[in-house]
Amino acid sequence: MLTKKSAAGIGIGLVAVVLGTFFLLQTIMTNVHDVNDTVDVGKNDVFQFDAEKHYHELLNVTGSSFHVHMKTPSTGLQIDKDFQKQVSFDWYSLENGQHFINITNTGGSLLHVTGKLEAVTNPLIFTSHIIVISSGVLIIGMSAAFSIRRPKGF
């Protein structure tokens, strides 16, 4: 028979396992980041992310005038020039590595930056979800063990 404390411990452990698993699956499945930014006059918008080979990237910039500085790994896109009105970038990563995009508003109106950037997720986030799941399993195990035989002092 479960005591109230053991049942509460098992419930807390189950919540940790379920939430950790949900967020772990969400992290694994979603690596596309939707971009929908507005850049004020004289300000800039910077994107820096890691992408694997063959990831598809799409970025549209609309405004009166702006400067785009873009570096992709290997012999990919290397852009450092001024644009007027609108520009669209649609590319595939040629190599694994870091992409750097800096968009500076040099005009007299707001810039609108939209697109989809596919990036590799941070391994520390993945590890933190695994830690939450294993902590939940540990809580469940200890709570179940306490319900079978109560240790001295508890």
Give kind and range of the element (H or E) at residue 2.
Answer: none
Confidence at residue 153, expressed as pLDDT on a 0 to 100 scale = 64
| pLDDT tier, 39 (very low <50, low <70, confident <90, very high otherwise) | confident
Cα–Cα distances (Å) from 127 to 104, 106, 118, 131, in that order, read 35, 41, 20, 6
Tell me: pLDDT of 18 over 90: yes
Report which DSSP code applies to 129.
H
The CATH number corresponding to 24-121 among 3.30.930.10, 3.40.50.150, 2.60.120.380, 1.10.8.100 equals: 2.60.120.380
Query: What one-letter code names the amino acid at 32?
Result: V
Residues 52-69 have a mean pLDDT of: 86
Per-residue pLDDT reduced to its tens digit, 80-114:
888 888 888 888 888 888 889 898 888 888 888 88
Residue 154 CB-density burial (10 A; 0-12 exposed, 13-18 middle, 19+ buried): exposed
Q: Are 56 and 118 in contact (CB under 8 A)?
A: yes
pLDDT of 1: 66
Predicted TM-score (pTM) of the model is 0.60
Helix (H, G, I), strand (E, B) or coil at 6: helix
Q: What distance in Å separates the CA atoms of residue 28 and residue 58, rounded to the nearest whole number?
A: 21
pLDDT of 43 higher than 90: no
Q: What contacts 125, CB < 8 A, 6 or more positions away? A: 27
Task: Look at residue 15 and tell me whether its pLDDT is greater than 80.
Answer: yes
Q: Say what percent of the chain tops pLDDT 70.
A: 93
Q: For 109-148, what is each residue's pLDDT tens digit?
A: 888 888 888 777 767 878 888 898 899 999 888 888 777 7
